[in-house]
Amino acid sequence: MIFDAGVSAINRQTSSLLATQQQVSSGRRILRPSDDPVAAARALETQQASDVVAQFKQNQDYATASLGLQEAQLTSAGELLSRLRELTVQAGSTSLTATARQGIAIEMRASFDRLLAIANSTDGSGNHLFAGFMSATTPFGGNVDNIIAGGEIVYQGDDGQRSLQVSPSRHVEVSESGRDLFQRIGSGNGYFATDYAAGNTGTGMTSSGTVTDPAAWQAATARDIDVRFTVSAGVTTYDLVDTASGNSLLTGAAAPAPLVSQRSFQPGQPIVLKSQGVEPAFNLGGSLSITGNPASGDSFSVTPSTSQSVFATIANLVGALESTGTTPADNAKYINEVTFALNDLARASENILGARARIGARMNEIESLAGLNEDLGLQFQQALSKLQDVDYAQAISDLTRKQVQLEAAQQSFLKVSQLSLFNYL
């Protein structure tokens, strides 16, 4: 009995001493769930929440890197478009020689290829930035000559926007659709686009027009309009014709309207797309101006704005620069193309700036969430420390005390184990 009791006491003291020693060496108060079941359960929940926060941190880092790469590419695209606008302004001079035009066209062809490379750019993993969900597919294919011949740049991506969850309640888009960036650019002034008829023989040149009453433009039933010119006895007049019905807006009757019912034309003066005087009531909410001297039978169109790719804008301008026409009518058409390109490039630049603004807003949001995430991570680590970490002062004090207790148990066992009659025989 004495031996059994002594060994049991020593074992208990040894086990307690070893447990305290493990706490000191590991720095953890809870070595197994049974040490403190409540604290162990709370520590598990806190650790899971901390792991989720760490995953959000990784997502935020990835999103920031992806958005930063896109922003850099779009910055390059914006600078490239600015250079193209400078070249377009230079190309607008009718005094340029054929050689000078050819030089500008060569640089624009190179700029086209650079812009196409930006649109097809990838991240470090080979994923295309502007292909939507189809990141493994090269989004854009085509070339300048194909567009000049009547083709178009082919977009092989989709309209999807990849997103990442960067907080418990927030998903952030980390990609932009290439179609939205480079193809869905409103032609003309965003409401309507003007154009010249291919058969024009005069020197008329049209502006892109302006809309002063967007509601009236949207409400108008006839928005496909031809401005048709007539020259008689040295007087130039024009009619506004609804191309769908073939009726004159100025008389309500079939076009052409009687000469006396047409408006008098003054180069550079606004052609108001609204009824005046005794004309039948109509209001398209805008106007355009035409300079130069249109010939009898010349016409210019006003049609609702549609989407046009920036690649088509560049290619059309290259085609105009490389044209060989030298008549006054050819020069007028050339200036029209330059005017259209300058306007469309401006809208393309605005589109890129809008995308950069969206990306910047997302990056700012992620930066804000990252600060909150860091604070949460610190709080979870502090909570885990309180639940799990050992109090070294207390643990070392307990270790010393238990060493003394074990030694006392061992020494007392030696004394007690000698209490036998055989020692006195």
3-state SS string over the chain? CHHHHHHHHHHHHHHHHHHHHHHHHHCECCCCHHHCHHHHHHHHHHHHHHHHHHHHHHHHHHHHHHHHHHHHHHHHHHHHHHHHHHHHHHHCCCCCCHHHHHHHHHHHHHHHHHHHHHHCCECCCCCECCECCCCCCCCEECCHHHHHCCCCCEECCCCCCCEEEEECCEEEECCCEHHHHHHCEECCCCCEEEEECCCCCCCCEECCCEECCHHHHHHCCCCCEEEEEEEECCEEEEEEEECCCCEECCCCCECCCCHHHCEECCCCCEEEEECCCCCCCCEEEEEEEEECCCCCCCEEEEEECCEECHHHHHHHHHHHHCCCCCCHHHHHHHHHHHHHHHHHHHHHHHHHHHHHHHHHHHHHHHHHHHHHHHHHHHHHHHHHHHHHECCHHHHHHHHHHHHHHHHHHHHHHHHHHCCCHHHHC
What confidence score (pLDDT) does residue 79 get? 96
Cβ distance 278 to 251 under 8 Å?
no
Structure tokens that stand for 282 in this block: 């109509």
Q: Nearest CA to 108 among 277, 322, 329, 399?
A: 322
Q: What are phi and psi of 355, to 5 degrees?
A: -65, -40
Cβ distance 171 to 255 under 8 Å?
no
pTM of the model: 0.78
Burial of 118 (0-12, 13-18, 19+ CB in 10 A): buried
d(CA 348, CA 308): 9
Q: What is the pLDDT along the chain (425 residues), one digit of tens a residue?
A: 767 776 777 777 676 666 666 666 666 666 666 666 766 677 677 767 777 888 888 888 888 999 999 999 999 999 999 999 999 999 988 788 889 999 999 999 999 999 999 999 998 788 899 998 998 899 999 899 998 888 888 999 999 888 888 888 888 888 889 999 999 998 999 899 999 999 999 999 999 999 999 999 999 888 899 999 999 988 999 999 999 999 999 998 998 888 878 999 999 999 999 999 889 999 999 999 999 999 999 999 999 999 889 999 999 999 999 987 889 999 999 999 999 999 999 999 999 999 999 999 999 988 888 887 777 777 777 776 676 666 666 767 766 776 767 667 667 766 776 666 666 65
d(CA 145, CA 117): 17
d(CA 388, CA 380): 12
Cβ distance 209 to 302 under 8 Å?
yes
The dihedral sign for the CA sequence 331, 336, 340, 346: positive
Which domains are assigned to the chain?
Answer: 37-187+306-389 (1.20.1330.10), 196-305 (no CATH)
Q: Nearest CA to 189 among 166, 165, 217?
A: 217
What confidence score (pLDDT) does residue 57 get? 87
What confidence score (pLDDT) does residue 388 get? 65
d(CA 284, CA 191): 10
Q: Is the peptide bond before 267 cis (omega within 30 degrees of 0)?
A: no
